[in-house]
Structure 1
Amino acid sequence: MTSTDGAGSALRWILLSTAVAGILGYVIQVAASRLLDGSSYVSFSVMWSTVYLCVAAMSGVQQEVARAARPSRDHTPSTVLRSFTLSAIAVVIIVALGVAAWLAATTLPLPFVGLGAVLSIAFVGYLVNAVLSGVLYGLRLWRGVALITALDAVLRIILLAAAFASGAHPLWLGLGIAFPFGLSFALAWTVLRPGVVGRFALDVGFAKLSRNVLSTVGAAACSGVMISGLPLLIGATSAKVPASAVGALLMAINLTRAPIVVPVVAMQSYLISAVFRDRDSVSTRRLFGLLGVAIAIMAALSAMAYFVGPWLIELISAGSFEIDPPVIAIVVFSAGLVALMCVTGPALVARRGHVANVLGWGVAAALTVACLLLPVDFTTRVLTALTVPAIGGLAAHVIALLGRGRNAPSHSSGALPV
């Protein structure tokens, strides 16, 4: 479990564990909708969404640790990472209690103490998991990454299956969501510890690591607005639009973004540590060539969606929703644009372009909200919010990559002992 693998084997391990986690997550969602009564399902859904929106933001911790951690044999255990993790734990507990207070006062009929405990367990558990996973990515211990990902998903479905079967209180359902993060860390650590302790160093100190994490977390939070948070924003800005129109577009977005965007999101730490880190900068010609190939593939998928998408939407919804061919084609193309940002962002982080990365995502997130508030018809407004922000954010990333390609010196693969 402590040996590294080649690039092909790495991809297989990571994609397999990501697929397992994704499938088990879908199973949980289907089971919850069928086995829980109305109020319990609402509470479960809100807690699930809250936990995973915050988890999406904290994935920025994993990205920066993956960039900063370098192999260093028989090195003194990193006090920088330990200090950072303890400080971050204090921060996420404060955030968890704040979110719990807001949910208890506005959304969930649950006691603040219990809700605060659930969210604190979830956030702290994911944080330590993200730090360990980041180190494993940095050391390219792909089987360890796969172990943590699969363990987390398997433990969650076991705990929630027991909670569903026993008709547990919503707070116990919340603990079923929260506990697997920390439990998977503890179990994996017993196996992975010998290959990690004293085997890595960070190339930044505490202050720089903290600043970099703030930028990657900010970028991840902005990407969450454009991915997992998009249905919420569309629903919140479309109260007067017929439910059939909103439902059809949301269904198209969810069905297309899951297979196109989610796998790329899951691969970002891999891209940072195995593809972009310590590589020479990409030339202008090569960068635009790669973008051209990606856009050609996106155009082909959009054409396929034009002809097949409306039929598929009608089939899956049993005739409840209908969508025009050009609309679903644009939805698919926009998903490809977001996926491209999930590649250019890691490229910038790997080259220490943290400010440019968060700037690109910030521009895209702000434009998304602004476009959804435009005084135009619903379909035009949503399609504009899907495409224009992603184009703007992608352009910001590409310009920054070109600038760093001209100015950045070549990077050494060695780690600085901090």
Structure 2
Amino acid sequence: MRRGPNGAVLILAATAIGGGAGYLLQIITGAALGTAAYAPFAVFWSALYLLISALSGVQQEVARATHVLGEGARGASRAPVVRNFAVVAALIIAVLIAGTAWIWVGAVFPANGWSLVLPLVIGLAAYVVVAATAGVLYGLSLWASAAALTIVDGLVRFAIVAVMLSLTTDIAVLAWGVTLPFAITPLILWPFIRRGVVGRFGIDVGPRELSWNVLRTVTAAAATGVMVSGLPLMIQATGDIVSSDAFGSLSYAITLTRAPIVIVVLALQSYLVVVFRTDADAMLGRVVRFAIIVLAGAGLLSVLAWWLGPWALSILFGRADVLSGGTIALLVATAGLVGVLCVTGAATLSRAQHGPFAGGWIVAAVSTIITLLLPLGLHERTILAMVVGPVAGLIVHIVALRRPASVHLGPPAPDDPIS
């Protein structure tokens, strides 16, 4: 799996396959469980991917920090720094989630309780290793290998959960099907990607600075998760959800209608960091072009959602009153704002502006949660929050990007110590 020039094409293709498998899995699961029973599954999925979104900050920072070593320096890689960090971080996450579960398990998983905690712990710990590995692959521009991680993860998850759904609708069992691929995928791919990684990279920070940068990036990524995969969880936690049926319908629509935009742009985060870092002088122009593409795509998809969305949901659930076309279209349109925020976030991170990067996402997440607390109807407060949050975050990122870069970014100089 050697590096090639068509990185964006490979990553988008991988997202289409791996992400498409997850998208189809959501459709099948919702149809198999029904809107009311889908609600607890949606909350587990939301909680898991909220935390995974946070931990994706590991991938972004490792990608930013990773550089190809010169031929004469292969033996002096900082690889142990990344490896040791990943192992320690995975253990810390596992202990933290398991140790605090008694505080939140009743509120987050009221129906299934502790049966969902262990799959959550195992999945998150395994994902830390996946994120660190993917970060190195992105940093080395090994696009085929990075794409393979996405594809295999998505296809393995689809296969496992699809088989489980044919046998059971037990949410605790399905939870294992959702989380196990994070542990299985690296085991499948490592024999194939090892040769292109081991001894071939260095990173531009030491262990302490890597940890500090990752902490800030993870904080920003956690805020990203609040606004993306964590929305059903946040909606449930911040106000009256009216009924399980209404909440399940809205959660289902949020998951399916926003994924084609948000998940695609999120999948390109590490790629954009590397692209913006490589050609810093042209970065602002590229940010504008990517933003226009995202907004145009969101506009087109929102029109299609208004037209076809109610019909599609009526086919899935057997009734015509699931959600209106206007509501579905607005859900899609607001995804474009989050997509642009992903682009500006990648730009700030590429310039090592970790503070503004985290600040933009935190402001966006806090604004989203505050808006969700307003005494409005379920649909009204949700859509308003999905507009206010990303706009607030964009203001922070744009202000930061208009400032001149304060540091020169690039690979370590040949004479720099790297071990």
Secondary structure (helix, strand or coil) at the match of 1:408 reads: coil
Rounded Cα–Cα distance in structure 1 between residues aligned with 2:329 and 2:203? 44
Give the superposition deviation at 1:350.
Answer: 1.1
In the alignment, is the contact (CA less than 8 A) between 2:299 and 2:333 conserved in 1? no
Q: How far apart are the structure 2 equivalents of 1:97 and 1:379?
A: 34
User: Do the aligned residues in 2 keep the contact of 1:249 with 1:323 (CA within 8 Å)?
Assistant: no
What is the deviation of 1:52?
2.0
Give 1:121-200 correspondences, 5 Å limit: 121-167=122-168, 171-200=172-201
**Number of aligned positions between the proteins:** 406
Identity %: 36
Partner of 1:232: 233
Which of the numbers 286, 311, 315 marks the counterpart of 1:315?
Answer: 311
Output the CA distance in 1 between the equivalents of 2:46 and 2:214: 23
1:191-270 correspondence to structure 2 within 5 Å = 191-239=192-240, 253-270=254-271
Q: CA–CA distance in 2 between the matches of 1:346 and 1:281? A: 15
Secondary structure of the corresponding residue to residue 201 of structure 1: strand
Q: TM-score, normalised by structure 1?
A: 0.84
- Pairing 1:52–2:49 present: yes
Deviates more, 1:352-361 or 1:68-77: 68-77
1:138 CA drift (Å): 0.4
Please show how residues 110-129 of structure 1 align to structure 2 within 5 Å: 112=114, 115-129=116-130
Change (3 A) 1:202 1:26: same
Classify 1:172/1:376 alpha carbon distance in 2 versus 1 (closer, same or farther; 3 Å).
closer
Residues 225 and 365, structure 1, Cα contact 8 Å, conserved in 2: yes
2:3 matched residue in structure 1: 4
Deviations 1:96-121 (A, max 9, x none): 31464456545356684x65542332
> What is the alpha-carbon distance in structure 2 between the residues aligned to residue 135 and residue 151 of structure 1?
18
Q: Residue type matched to 2:354 in 1?
A: H
Counterpart residue number, 1:363: 363
Deviation of the 1:204 alpha carbon: 0.5
On the 8 A contact 1:244/1:320 being kept in 2, the answer is: no
| Counterpart Cα distance in 1 of 2:135 and 2:342 | 17
3-state DSSP of counterpart to 1:70: strand
Tell me the SS of whatever aligns to 1:411. Answer: coil
The C-alpha deviation readout for 1:338-360, integer Å capped at 9, x for no partner, is: 11110010111111011101100
Read off the aligned partner of 1:227 and give its amino acid letter. V
Q: Please state if 1:24 is matched with 2:21.
A: yes
Residue 374 of structure 1 aligns to a residue whose secondary structure is coil
- When residues 85 and 340 of structure 1 are mapped into structure 2, their CA distance, relative to the original with a 3 A threshold, is same
Q: 1:338 to 1:145 in 2, by over 3 A?
A: same
Closer, same or farther: CA 288–37 of 1 in aligned 2, 3 Å: closer
Provide, for residues 26-68 of structure 1, a one-character-per-residue CA deviation record: whole Å limited to 9, x for no partner. 3433444455699996765544333222111111111111111
Kept in 2: contact 1:101–1:116 (CA 8 A): no
Q: Hey, what's the Cα distance between the residues in 1 that align with 2:32 and 2:46?
A: 18
Q: Is the 8 A contact 1:278 1:413 kept in 2?
A: no
- Counterpart Cα distance in 2 of 1:128 and 1:18: 20
Q: Is the 8 A contact 1:5 1:141 kept in 2?
A: yes
Task: For residue 181 of structure 1, report the CA deviation from its aligned partner.
Answer: 1.0
Aligned partner of 1:201: which letter?
Answer: G
Does the CA-based 8 Å contact 2:261-2:297 persist in structure 1? Answer: no
> Residue 139 of structure 1: CA displacement?
0.5
Corresponding residue of 2:336:
336
- Structure 2 runs not aligned, ≥5 long: 315-319
| Deviations 1:129-178 (CA, angstroms, capped at 9, x unpaired) | 11111100000111111222222222223333443444496554333222
Q: Output the CA distance in 2 between the equivalents of 1:311 and 1:94.
A: 47
